[in-house]
């Protein structure tokens, strides 16, 4: 692991950049992130690389090309991470800094912090949070209201050894590391430098493509001189903020992979047994004179041609079958599935039946809420760092995206409606989103004003 102090001590900065990228790409964090991408795409690594073997007559281990090799990959990893991310961020975030503003003749309540962050903030926050879960961390570059998401598979961080603060970082990407050029950007607190693979070369044979450039450049355009740089300014700190997926600062794949692999192997093995009737075996009578090679040839002929010739006067071949152990495998798969959801702290909708009360649903959501508390804490710390660039002191608020018995919840709200103001009443209703509350209030006020005008 390279640190910011290593970078400061390096005499040749370009050689340090290349060495840092190479070290990072062979490290555990990068490798785990790459594998997590495969599981997120339902290309589970273990089951895809699984090969069935047998031993030949001389005891050598060779691939069994005659065996069925179904590779059934589950999609739990994607589903569970989507659930955790959308549970907290599916409805976006809101803030406390608001003001009333007249728009189209209607008084509306405007979220000032959300307005300053920009209309694309919720989308970029969701994207960064999802990658933070599956990779363990994600990095977001702020550029005067624009947000760029850097995944852990394309960004090498350089942390301060004493404060733990992110002081610099190296972003790298290529369409094909073996055949295509690589682009590298070194981000520092006072600007960024761009490198590219030397023309005619490949890999990390880098040369400087663009010298260090300030993050903010003041330009002036004149008729005589055209566009001219008249000043440079920086933000006083690195405009890249890390977002961690949990307090453990590791991928959600860690600890889950073994169970995901076990589920794949069990269901794939069951499919293979059904396809090739692997539970059928043969007993060859009066074959004591057969060598191991003869027995191996007899077995291969049975598997390939499904027929074999024996001397019926002196020997026999009798098939025996066993039922595929379906029930045991089914129960084991259900047990693994339940364990996956329990360990991840997720909600398995199959455990909730129609018509259950909100008390039962709330109890099922308890593990989800506990994990969301930890996740939202990381999001709050991240958003506060972003708000520092705007000079805003505020805290994001979440409306968790959960199922409920809406009829029961609506009845409870209406029972106390006389004690609530209109805004609180609408916020408590389960089928109205945060954005629809303000719209409903504005429409209601406009309707009342129109009625008063008509009566007058």
Decide if 125 is inside a domain: yes
Distance CA 189, CA 23 (A): 23
230, part of any domain: yes
Do 153 and 69 fall into the same domain? Answer: yes
CA–CA separation, 19 vs 5, rounded Å?
15
Q: What angle do CA 207, 28, 33 make, to 5 degrees?
A: 80
Span 213-218, mean pLDDT? 73
pLDDT, mean of residues 138-150: 93
Q: Are 101 and 238 in the same domain?
A: yes
Question: Are 93 and 129 found together in one domain?
Answer: yes
Cβ contact 154:187 at 8 Å: no
Residue that terminates a domain, selected from 193, 216, 244: 244
How many Cβ atoms from other residues are within 10 Å of residue 187's Cβ?
23
Neighbours of 259 (CB within 10 A): 17
Q: Is residue 65 part of a domain?
A: yes
Which pair of tokens denotes residue 177?
Answer: 């590391």
Which of 187, 176, 90 is closest to 130 using CA atoms?
90
Q: Is residue 392 part of a domain?
A: no
Q: Is the CA virtual torsion 137, 142, 148, 154 positive or negative?
A: negative
Domain co-membership, 308 together with 338: yes
**Domain match, 183 and 269 both:** no
Rg (CA), the chain: 31
Q: Looking at the structure, tell me whether residues 344 and 451 fall in a common domain.
A: no
Residue 227 scores a pLDDT above 50:
no
How many C-beta neighbours within 10 Å does residue 183 have?
16
Structural domain for 412, as ranges: 405-456
CA distance linking residue 322 with residue 335, whole number of Å: 24
Both 170 and 235 in a single domain?
yes
- 150 by DSSP, 3-state: which? strand
Comparing CA positions, the residue from 277, 275, 264 lying closest to residue 329 is 264
The distance of Cα 174 from the centroid of its chain, to the nearest Å, equals 21
Residue 24, pLDDT score? 96
Please indicate, yes or no, whether residues 411 and 297 belong to a single structural domain of this protein: no
- Range ranked top by mean pLDDT from 88-102, 118-132, 225-239, 424-438: 118-132
- pLDDT tens for 323-370 read 666 777 888 888 999 999 999 988 887 776 555 666 666 777 888 889
pLDDT at 314: 65
Distance CA 301, CA 289 (A): 18
Name the domain count of the chain.
3
Distance, in Å, from the CA atom of 25 to the CA atom of 32, rounded to the nearest integer, reads 10
121 and 98 assigned to the same domain: yes
Q: Within this chain, do residues 135 and 239 fall inside the same structural domain, yes or no?
A: yes
Note whether 265 and 212 are same-domain residues: no
Cross-strand bridge partners of residue 183: 173, 196
Q: What's residue 54's pLDDT?
A: 66
Looking at the domain assignment, is residue 395 inside a domain?
Answer: no
Q: What is the pTM of this model?
A: 0.78
CA dist., res. 348 & res. 361, Å (int): 11
Determine the Cα–Cα distance for residues 97 and 88; give it in Å rounded to an integer.
20
> 81 near 133, Cβ under 8 Å?
yes
Distance separating alpha carbons of residues 44 and 264, to the nearest angstrom? 9
183 lies in some domain: yes
Domain final residue pick, 211, 244, 277: 244
* In-domain check, residue 455: yes
pLDDT at site 366: 85
Average pLDDT along the chain: 82
User: What residues contact residue 127 under an 8 Å CB cut-off, 6+ apart?
Assistant: 149
- What is the pLDDT, as a whole number, of residue 230? 39
Domain boundary among 317, 350, 383: 350
Percent of the chain topping pLDDT 90: 43
Residues 229 and 304 in one domain: no
**Per-residue pLDDT tens digits for 265-276:** 888 877 776 666
Handedness of CA 162, 165, 169, 175 (dihedral sign): positive
Alpha carbons 128 and 9: distance in angstroms, whole number: 32
The alpha helices in 240-325, defined as continuous H runs, are 257-276, 292-305
Enumerate the H helices of 391-433 as residue ranges.
Answer: 406-415, 422-428
Residue 146 lies in a domain: yes
Phi, psi of 221 (to 5 degrees): -115, 125
115 pLDDT above the threshold of 50: yes
């Amino acid at each position: 692991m390279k640190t910011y102090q290593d970078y400061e001590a390096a005499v040749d900065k370009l050689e340090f950049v290349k060495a840092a990228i190479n070290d990072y790409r062979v490290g555990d964090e990068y490798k785990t992130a790459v594998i997590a991408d495969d599981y997120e795409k339902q290309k589970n690594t273990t089951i895809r690389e699984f090969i069935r073997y047998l031993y030949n007559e001389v005891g050598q281990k060779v691939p069994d090309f005659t065996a069925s090799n179904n590779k059934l990959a589950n999609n739990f990893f994607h589903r569970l991470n989507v659930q955790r991310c959308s549970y907290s961020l599916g409805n976006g975030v809101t803030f406390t800094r608001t003001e009333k503003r007249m728009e189209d003749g209607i008084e509306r309540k405007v979220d000032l912090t959300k307005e300053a962050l920009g209309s694309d903030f919720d989308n970029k926050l969701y994207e960064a949070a999802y990658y933070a879960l599956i990779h363990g961390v994600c990095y977001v570059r702020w550029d005067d209201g624009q947000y760029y998401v850097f995944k852990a598979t394309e960004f090498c961080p350089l942390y301060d050894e004493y404060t733990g603060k992110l002081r610099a970082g190296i972003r790298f990407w290529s369409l094909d590391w073996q055949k295509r050029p690589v682009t590298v950007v070194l981000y520092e607190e006072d600007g960024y430098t761009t490198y590219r693979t030397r023309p005619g070369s490949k890999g990390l044979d880098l040369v400087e493509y663009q010298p260090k450039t300030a993050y903010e450049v003041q330009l002036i355009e004149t008729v005589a001189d055209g566009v001219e740089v008249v000043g440079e300014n920086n933000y006083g700190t690195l405009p890249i903020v890390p977002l961690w997926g949990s307090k453990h600062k590791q991928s959600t794949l860690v600890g889950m992979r073994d169970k995901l692999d076990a589920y794949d192997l069990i269901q794939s093995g069951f499919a293979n047994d059904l396809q090739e009737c692997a539970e059928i075996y043969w007993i060859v009578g009066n074959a004591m004179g057969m060598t191991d090679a003869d027995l191996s040839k007899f077995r291969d002929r049975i598997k390939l041609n499904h027929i074999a010739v024996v001397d019926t006067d002196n020997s026999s071949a009798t098939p025996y079958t066993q039922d595929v152990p379906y029930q045991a495998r089914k129960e084991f798969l259900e047990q693994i599935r339940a364990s996956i959801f329990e360990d991840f702290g997720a909600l398995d909708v199959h455990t909730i039946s129609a018509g259950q009360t909100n008390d039962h649903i709330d109890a099922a959501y308890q593990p989800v809420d506990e994990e969301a508390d930890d996740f939202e804490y990381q999001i709050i710390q991240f958003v506060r760092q972003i708000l520092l660039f705007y000079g805003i002191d505020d805290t994001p608020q979440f409306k968790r995206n959960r199922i409920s018995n809406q009829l029961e919840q609506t009845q409870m709200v209406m029972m106390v409606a006389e004690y609530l103001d209109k805004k609180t009443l609408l916020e408590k209703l389960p089928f109205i989103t945060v954005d629809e509350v303000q719209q409903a209030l504005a429409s209601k006020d406009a309707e009342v004003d129109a009625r008063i005008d008509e009566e007058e």
